[in-house]
Structure formats: C-alpha cells, structure tokens
Amino acid sequence: MLPVQVNRLTVQEAGDRYVELVRAKTVTGALSPATAEVYARDVATFVRLAGPGRVLDDLTGEDVDAVLLAFARKPDERRKNDGQGNRTGKDTAKGAVGGIGGSTGGSAGGSAGQSAASQARFRRSVSALFRHATSAGWVHLDPMAASSVRARERGGLRPERRALTREQAEGLIEAAGSPAAPATAPPVEATGSGVARRRRADQRTEVRDALVVLLLTTLGPRVSELVRANVEDFYTNDGVRYWRIFGKGGRTRDVPLPDAVASALDAYLEVRAGGDGEKALLLSWRGRRLARGDVQAVIDRVQRQVDPGRRRAVTPHGLRHTTATHLLADGTDMDAVRRVLGHSDLSTLGRYRDDLPGELEVAMGSHPLLRRRRGRAGRDDQAAPDA
C-alpha cells in the first residue's frame, strides 16, 4: 500500500538518517561495527554520485543505473600508486562527484575501475537504503526495481584469495612452527613520525606470528574476529581449549582448538608482554592491539621462511578459504564447517570452497559404490590359479 504522503527528503538528508540508523544497530549487536562502516561508506558515495541536494523520491531507475555505472568506473581508491609511484584514485574520483549529470570520472588515464565484488557490494548497500526509504515513506516506489545495471561475473577469485594446496598450507604451518632465529639485537622499526625506534627485547613476535598463522589456517576466522580477540575469550572446558569468537551480527561461536594450536597459544601467553589491563590477545611490538593491516605483514613474514617450491602469496581471507576447502575435502560434516566459519546458512560455504588439484581423480578412484566390486574382483583374481 502506497504511503499517503511522502516525506520529500533530499538525498543527503535520507543518507544521514539511514546511516544513523545503521550505526545504532551496532549497539544492539544486530550489525558489527565493521559492517556498519561499510554501509556508511557506500551510502556516502551514493549521496555524492546522485547529488546531495536532489529529492530522493525524484530518483528513477535510470538515475540509479547512472549512479551504479559511475561507481563502476570510479577508480579503486585502495590502489594508492600508479606505475610511476604517483598517488591515484582520489583526484579522478572527484570527477564522479556532483550529480548524475556531471562527469562520472570514467577510467581516464587508464585507471582501473571497481572490481565486480565491490560493484555488487555497493548495489546491495544502495538496495538496503531504498528498502528502508520505502518502508519509512521517503519514496513512493523503490527505484531499484527498475534498475538494470548489474556487476559482471567475478570470473574467479584472485590467486592470493584462493585456498592454498595441502603442500603450501603445510609449508606455511611448518615455517610458523620453526621461526627463524631472532637477531642478537632487537630490530629497528620506524614510527609514524619517521623516527626509528628499537623494538623492545621482551616482545617475542615470532611466537605471536606462529599463533596468528595457525589460527588463520586451521580455524579460518575473519581478520576482524582475529584482531578483536581478547585473552579472556580463550577458556578450557573438560580438558579442551576453546575460543569464543565474537562474529558478525553480534553472533558468537565457541570453536575447539586443535592440540597444536592450543600449544602455540600457551607458548605465546607465556611470553606475551602486555601492559596492566591490556585485554587484547595479539599485541604489536609496542604492546598495543594488533591492527587488521598488521595481519598481512605477519603472513608475509612467515611466508619468507617457506621453501620456494611450496610458497605462494595469500591473504588472511585466502587462509579462510584454505580452512573451509580442506575441511570439506577431508569429509568433515558441512554443518560443522559452517559453525567453525561462523555462517548462519550452509549455502554460504560455496563461496569458500575452492577446487584442489587432483581431488576429483582421488574421489572417482575410490568411488563408494564401487568399493565392494573392487574387493570382489581382488578375491576372484586370487582364486584364479586354482580354478
């Protein structure tokens, strides 16, 4: 039923109200802070591209398509440098601001646009905004129903986000468990002010790095869940160590640690040099909570110790794929894998399940419906000389 009278908010006003509502959901645990900020960022981009002063109810499906195309052509601002080392993205992105009728920013200068995954995420954020606007009486009709712009097919994961093979994963785990011998003097690291400081000698970062790699590779947490972990989130019940993971949407899950991971945790806790009242499990060499960007540096540092024949670049999310892929390939119950990864729906596992080389050949070589037949054939062969 259409609203009797629409509240003719501008795009800016509607965006501000919606973002305020989204951020309020983090208080009740309906949304994680990281998810809320993604929505807020996408809505702010939509406001700039659509034109802040326009009335939201005046936007049509064609207008929304123009915004989606402008976003798709907008350079990815995460790519900070071009081939000459110059910063790219921000200047060209400004051309996409200022309304639909203006320049979209295109891909001038050969700058790459948004990935298919980013385009799909942006469309979901805009759809959520208009769903709320429809129920709140800000628009008569949802223009997304008349929108026809869709992101192209992803065409597969980037190599660094695919699951590691068993040999590659084992190489990474072995390197984490056998860290290089630390230097006699603590290494020098640069601070934000550019002044070099010597790392504190009591920071056994190689032990912390081993724990990071083992947790990511065997349990597959999201990187946000990993850096958010506190010491108190790990507990023992009936002789088994558990990690209470605080996941997306305020959901929690208790995941048992494999023995090797529990041993790595104990080894780290013995040398962890946290200040008084510091709750964070993973600490930087300054004694502060490890940041999301630091996790990739940890993986890269351990990777440098892996034999080149088993080494391959991988992201924290790629290790999440590795966990899911190898658990499922080993015949682990799908619902158990779902609970380890923290998904509410089994269908979501499909995005984390990657192909492993030779897996189909092994499966068909030991087909469950033919095992009895092979056994009978073997017995017949043994009886043949006496026949």
Q: Per the residue annotation, which of 74, 272, 312, 320 is the catalytic one?
A: 320
**Which contiguous run of DSSP H or E holds residue 223?**
helix 223-228
Active site residue 248: yes
Q: Per the residue annotation, which of 158, 244, 292, 317 is the catalytic one?
A: 317
What backbone torsions phi and psi does residue 206 show, to the nearest 5 degrees? -70, -30
Active site residue 222: yes
Q: Per the residue annotation, which of 161, 204, 208, 222 is the catalytic one?
A: 222
Active site residue 317: yes
Residues 6+ apart with CB under 8 A from 220: 319, 320, 321, 322, 323, 324, 340, 341, 352
> Tokens standing for 355?
């192909």
Q: Is there a contact between 258 and 332 (Cβ–Cβ < 8 Å)?
A: no
Active site residue 25: no
333 vs 139: CA distance, rounded Å? 46
Active site residue 343: yes
Which DSSP string do the residues of 22-55 spell out, in sequence order? HHHHHHHTSS-HHHHHHHHHHHHHHHHHH-TTSB
Provide the residue count of the chain. Answer: 387
Q: Per the residue annotation, which of 18, 39, 268, 352 is the catalytic one?
A: 352
Q: Is there a contact between 126 and 144 (Cβ–Cβ < 8 Å)?
A: yes
Residue numbers annotated as active site? 222, 248, 317, 320, 343, 352
